[in-house]
Amino acid sequence: MALAAIFLVFLFGCTQPAEPEPMAPPAPEPPVVPSPEPSAPELPPEPGPEPEPVTTEDIIQSQCEEGGGRWNECGSACRRAREGLSCTQVCVAYCECGGIAGFNCPQGYECTDYLPEGAADAMGICEPIDETEESEELEEPEEEEWVLEDGVRIAGNYADADIVDLGNGNYRMYYSLEPEVEGFNGQVYSSVSSDGISWTRETGTRKESVTFPSVIKLPDGRYRMYFQNAGVIKSAISSDGLTWQDESGTRMDTGNNLGLDFEYVLAPTVIDTGSEYMMVYSGAMDERYSAERVPNSETHVLMWATSEDGLTFEKKGMAVDSRNPELKGWVDGPEFVKWDDDGLRLYFWSYRGVYHVTYEDEAFSDDVVFDFTTATDPNVPFPQDPPGDPTITKMEDGYRMYFGIHTEGIYSAILATED
């Protein structure tokens, strides 16, 4: 509530000089010199704009709390008042976000104006997202649309899917148990399918002490699995894709040629380009993205490397730098895909959903393309449980993306292209 300022303006009259009256002869009076014109009175300065109170438009308490925020019935009306202007201390209601508890905003709103500025426990307020500004920042695909398919492909606490084409229209999916499950020991399971929709679980456990499995078929018919273990990336070999034997050594460690201090590396994806093996993986830094308040205390970037034999990799540098306003310090779950135009795409996920970049002439594109989200409002910066760890395979009916939803399982979307 803003209190209108009232100013009393004193107006000063302007006195005109009197005209001299003609005098009768014989002796003329000396001429009357007009008095100087009085200057205009100095008026008080125009009042400046009133400080705008916090407003969350039509947001209500139930909407705030259901969206993960904290309703403040009597917050300060001085939030975001312009410097140098006074404001009333009458309170207003708004939806708060951030803080140690990590309060969120409902869909269509974003968390802004954190106080105390820079503090770990800073609280912000939820304000409507400027959809015009958001749309200008994103590079949306013009002729591609990923359409969510009905049902769940693998139900339960599973994630990190990876698909291998077995030939003859058959596919095998490898996937991990989520770490929150009691008895978790990095278990990897597998299921098979002939249509990409209905999957039948194979008996037994494919491997343990593994996270983020990525499996490729080798030219000699064997299979190699790359995975994270103890903060580095290792590999295992199999003749049938079911029974695995660890390979000695480490495929990728935390060292890099950019001077980045990685706590660990994770989530590898490897592809055989025909002339070499390429790996992209995530490097985790123990620092929060500082440009704005984000959910994670770590910053992840994507690195890449090449190899002649798939075992010894030469580190190349950065593939995707997440430290920008769109990705906000978080990229994970990369996935290489050969496209119909013989191009190479790298898919990955961030806070909002699934993105991709392209690889050409030994470089990854700077511009990221936002592809897919399960959020009702695609402009929400931090939706709850976004689609994670995408894997994409071309099947008989087109490109299909599999992704995980935390605690629910693995879902799929089909790529619909315009003619």
Which tens digits make up the pLDDT trace of 336-378? 999 988 899 999 999 999 999 999 999 999 999 999 999 988 8
76 or 242: which carries more pLDDT confidence?
242
Please report, rounded to a whole number, the percentage of residues in the chain having pLDDT higher than 90.
Answer: 61
Is residue 403 within 8 A of residue 411, CB to CB? The reply is yes
Is residue 315 within 8 A of residue 255, CB to CB? The reply is yes
Please state the pTM of the whole predicted model. Answer: 0.70
Q: Bridge-partner residues for 346, per DSSP?
A: 336, 357
CA distances from 284 to 165, 274, 330 (A): 31, 30, 9
Section 132-137 average pLDDT: 48
The predicted pLDDT at position 118 comes to: 58
DSSP 135: H
Lowest mean pLDDT among 133-137, 172-176, 300-304, 316-320: 133-137
The predicted pLDDT at position 376 comes to: 86
The predicted pLDDT at position 47 comes to: 54
Beta-strand (E) ranges in 273-353? 277-285, 299-307, 314-320, 332-338, 344-349
**Which of 344, 339, 320 lies closest to 393, judged by CA?**
339
107 or 212: which carries more pLDDT confidence?
212
Spatial neighbors of 343 by CB under 8 A, at least 6 apart, are: 358, 359, 360
The predicted pLDDT at position 351 comes to: 96
Helices (H), 321-407: none
User: Band of the pLDDT at 4, cuts 50, 70, 90?
Assistant: very low
Q: Bridge-partner residues for 95, per DSSP?
A: 71
**Lookup result for tokens 């590999």:** 235
Statement: residue 45 has pLDDT above 70: no
Is residue 64 within 8 A of residue 126, CB to CB? The reply is yes
